[in-house]
Amino acid sequence: KRFRKKLTFSMVTVTFCKDYEQYMRKKGKSTAYTAIHLRNLRTIYNIAVVKGIADKDKYPFSQNQNDGKYQIKSGQKAKKALTTEELRTLKNYVPKTPAQKKAYAFWWFSYYANGLNMKDICLLQKKNITGETVTIERAKTSRTQRVKKLIQFFLSPELKAIINEFGNTDESSDAFVFDVLKHGMTEKQIRDTVQSFNHTINQRLKVISTDLKFEKPITTIVARHSFATQLKRKGLPVALVGESLGHSSEKTTQNYLDSFKIDTLKHVANVLNDI
């Protein structure tokens, strides 16, 4: 709105996109931040084309490289994974308050649960646990038309300890493992509750990061990156890492293993603990 107060689809051209990119750069905004807005704009334009509101022939965004249209740049992503030394330091940390202890526990739950994000952790139900394994469909893909993607991991002693201390006492199959969400919530209520919970966890993790004198604050997303990086450090195949994370885009991942045997899951858990 600051760049163009009123904007029509016909005004969204290759030149417009380039000018907007330059405008954001002068404002000191990062390439990644600018790309977020441009991807949103592209999505709106795509919807408009489908609805017949915008002219498909004037579509400004690149669909193929070297087609002469505007290609949204992707910023260089900062490395978010903790080093092995940082993981060891964090593991030896003793939280100072009950609130810190809970945030600390949920960070490690994500790490040991194949980098499971906070929404998926909050959505975990008792029925997802069968014997020594946990199997869950990622919330990100549960409503898409793609092949459903399941994540499976070993219920390690570390995960059991966290569930025992912070888990829901209701043992019915539909009960959430953690008492964050309630059945009957709308999608918006779920989203808002998870975002608030995640924000609170990250605020408490920030204090822990300061105590440990880490250069960058620890966040829940760092647990996911640290999980994947730790597997790679230990020489596990990239396809196995992708499968563990629940990625479905890489064909190699899909062809590598249809599902993990318990020995493989245990091996992954042992690798994660080898810090």
In terms of Cβ atoms closer than 10 Å to its own Cβ (0-12, 13-18, 19+), residue 188 is exposed
Cα dist from 183 to 128, 189, 191, 210, whole Å: 16, 11, 13, 37
Dist. CA 44–CA 38, nearest whole Å: 10
pLDDT at 77: 57
Neighbours of 199 (CB within 10 A): 12
- State the pLDDT confidence band at 53, using cuts at 50, 70 and 90: very high
Give strand pairing partners of 151: 136
Dist. CA 167–CA 161, nearest whole Å: 9
For residue 6, pLDDT beyond 60: yes
- State the pLDDT confidence band at 244, using cuts at 50, 70 and 90: low
- State the pLDDT confidence band at 102, using cuts at 50, 70 and 90: very high
130: part of which helix (H) or strand (E)? strand 129-130
Q: Taking residues 35-54, what's their average pLDDT?
A: 93
Phi, psi of 197 (to 5 degrees): -65, -45
Q: Taking residues 93-113, what's their average pLDDT?
A: 96
Nearest residue to 119 via CA among 219, 37, 192, 29:
192
pLDDT at 30: 86
How high does pLDDT run on average in the chain? 85
What 8-state DSSP symbol labels residue 13? -
The 10s digit of each residue's pLDDT in 141-160 is: 455 444 556 788 889 999 99
Radius of gyration of the chain (CA): 22
For the entire predicted model, the pTM comes to 0.69
41: part of which helix (H) or strand (E)? helix 31-50
Task: Give the three-state DSSP class for 120.
Answer: helix
pLDDT at 250: 41
- State the pLDDT confidence band at 249, using cuts at 50, 70 and 90: very low
- State the pLDDT confidence band at 258, using cuts at 50, 70 and 90: very low
pLDDT at 254: 37
Q: Are residues 155 and 134 in contact, defined by beta-carbon separation less than 8 angstroms?
A: yes
Dist. CA 40–CA 28, nearest whole Å: 20
pLDDT at 158: 95
